Amino acid sequence: MSETPAPLLPGHLTMVDIPGPDLDADTAEYLARHQIRGVCLFGKNVQSAAQLRQLCGDLRRVMGPDALIALDHEGGAILRPTFWPFAPSAMLLGAADDVQLTEDVNAALARQMRSVGINWNFAPVLDVNVNPANPVIGERAYGADPALVTRHGRAALAGHARAGVAACAKHFPGHGDTSLDSHLALPSVRKDRAALEAEEFAPFRALLPVTPALMTAHIVYPDLDPAYPATLSRVILTDLLRGEWGYEGVVITDSMGMQAIDANYGRGEAAVLSLHAGADMVMALGRREVQEQTLQAIQGALDGTGLDHAALRRSRERLTALARQYPAEADPALDPAADAAFLRGAWAAGLATLGDPVAPRAGSAVTLVAHRSPQRENVSEAAADAETLARELGGLYDVHLVPFESPDELDWAAIRAAGRPVILATTARHRHPALVGVQPDLHVALYNPYAALDVQAPAVVTFGFRPEARAALLAWLSGDSAARGQLPFRA
């Protein structure tokens, strides 16, 4: 006699976020009442390792042993905890082009997560960043070559598996050739199927056998489906991914609160469309009322004829299998601080140059031009401010700081009139038109590596602004180390 399957509830297929660093009674009751099995953590949920371990334990007690607790823990600018050693960005690893290093860095990222009980990392990024103007991917990608992205993506997936955390490749089927940020608008990639196969699809398709989960892109690919973005497209998620390519892993949407979806479809309708398209889990982030709107819409579709119950039971089984293969159990024996020296070395391994930069003589007077107070933007954290950079460079030079809020306010004639070597440090996520063609003596690209293409000066490219990146820069400036990385895009 066959066993009757458990009732299918919206919470089984939904991931939410929670308000703060502790699991308050109201949120715990809400998660339990809806039988929500997935929570994505953000900076607002992170204070310390002990606090995070307590929060994850509380979440697991409420959601059960099959809980999925996720974090965007990519490396570089996309790291929420500030109390662990910082891992380098994907593009730095692409610049170093050492697949064992990439595997080991990703294993270190996974150990950090597992030490507190997080079992799902929304990484690696398998986007092939062929568009230098891409406003949201950039250094989050390994580079502009599909083969390079594939080999480092494979290494990243292996590192996560080795350390016991579920990886999630993103953003399927590819966010590397967009000029719009899907957090703010609905992008479109107008390539034919052959071009998509050669670039966007290549890493995802090659790595499907070793990819436990995929995250969808909120992007329209008109040659595949002119009506819906990938997240909502049955043509892409079911016909292509499941049918043609035979993928059996978990498919989760990107945040449905991003404007690409929310401003064009609405939360409830989009959630139902994504499940019908073939997603296993909807990421319903945001205020409680929009989360409940999503849950209610899914329930309405389950009560009617809008969703295939058998297909969604298979979705639930996939999610359960993922949670059981990678349980959300903290391992107190893991010490993330033990990886500090290794990660410092990893940042140094990918340091790259453009042109033939020459460091000013130690002890000389220099002018440093830098952003006074960079701000956090969407998924990325804020870079180092001008005073911090001046203080650190002050160990090598007599620094005269010229801070700016926007680069279009800079008077380059006056800056150069002082007669000192000029170092420009770019620390913004986005390239700025006011910097196109400017001519400092040395450009230090501490965030967006493509800024090195705008400034007419020899450049040192760190692919990130974290303390370890700045230490690698200082070692190069002082002559203690060489820049061995190669830019993983066309200069």
- Annotated catalytic residues are 183, 254
Phi, psi of 380 (to 5 degrees): -100, 155
What is the distance in angstroms between the CA of the first residue and the CA of the last residue of the chain?
66
Q: CA of 414: how far to CAs of 366, 397, 417, 420, in Å?
A: 14, 21, 5, 11
* CA separation for the pair 263, 285 (Å, rounded): 14
* CA separation for the pair 261, 95 (Å, rounded): 34
Closest CA to 212 of 68, 88, 93, 100: 68
* CA separation for the pair 422, 419 (Å, rounded): 9
> 332 Cβ partners below 8 Å, 6+ apart?
53, 115
Computed on alpha carbons and rounded to an integer, the radius of gyration of the chain in Å comes to: 23
Q: In what order do the strands lie in the sheet with 120-121?
A: 166-167, 120-121, 68-71, 38-41, 14-16, 282-283
* CA separation for the pair 236, 244 (Å, rounded): 10
Q: Is the peptide bond before 124 cis (omega within 30 degrees of 0)?
A: yes
Query: Do 237 and 216 form a contact (C-beta atoms < 8 A)?
Result: yes
Closest CA to 157 of 80, 105, 216, 202: 105
Closest CA to 37 of 6, 5, 11, 10: 11
For tokens 């401003």, name the residue: 263
* CA separation for the pair 38, 166 (Å, rounded): 13
Q: CA of 102: how far to CAs of 87, 96, 121, 303, 486, in Å?
A: 10, 9, 15, 46, 15
